Amino acid sequence: MATIVKREDYFDAALEILATNDHAGLKQARLCAHLEVTTGSFYNYFDSWGQFKDEFLQHWLDHQTLQLAAAARLEGSPIRRMWMLVDFACGLPHSAESAIRGWAHSDRAVHEVQIQVDEQRYAVVAEALTAVLGEGGEDEAERLARTLLYILVGYQQRLPLDTAASLRWSLEHLLQSLLARVGAETERPFPVPTER
């Protein structure tokens, strides 16, 4: 019996392959084998490997950055928003993102999307931190947002990749230090989500 897959299944499978085989292992044949489909099934959705790559990168940008940033921006409390952003960061597919970061060094299209991902992640964190710090805190908020992004990127580049608990500790430690300094409640306002 033929396996029926959706367009999104190809993107999810690509993330799984990147997580275990790095970007050099992401090939059409491996993708189809992973999904147990023929290359004909692939061509029902994509005209070429280039189209697949472009759509996969856009899917990654949309689902792992833009949608999460939009959800965070709906939270009215900047402190709760920061805790949400920590949770979102810890729930990312880090092994796959590490492979994408490596891929970005040799592929211009991947590089351009990687820049967008990092800029969007930085922006949503800087906005929340500016709200936490209040008027006059914009410069510090920008520096802290860059520091948090550096922690995430550095975590994703470490080999072998540590557990997400180590990333969570680093992000939460910095956030709690900031909240204590501005006299805000330092305890997280909701339970820690289950890590992948």
pLDDT in tens, 105-120: 999 999 999 999 999 9
Say if residue 189's pLDDT is above 90: no
Q: Class for domain 50-181, per CATH?
A: mainly alpha
Min mean pLDDT across 57-61, 74-78, 126-130, 189-193 is at 189-193
Residue 195 is predicted with a pLDDT of 66
Per residue in 131-183, pLDDT tens?
999 999 999 999 999 999 999 999 999 989 899 999 999 999 999 999 999 99
Say if residue 3's pLDDT is above 80: no
Domain boundaries, the chain: 50-181
Per the confidence metrics, is the pTM higher than 0.85?
yes
What pLDDT band is residue 194 in, cutting at 50, 70 and 90? Answer: confident
Say if residue 96's pLDDT is above 90: yes
Q: What is the mean pLDDT of residues 2-23?
A: 92
* Token pair 């999307």: residue: 113
Say if residue 1's pLDDT is above 50: no
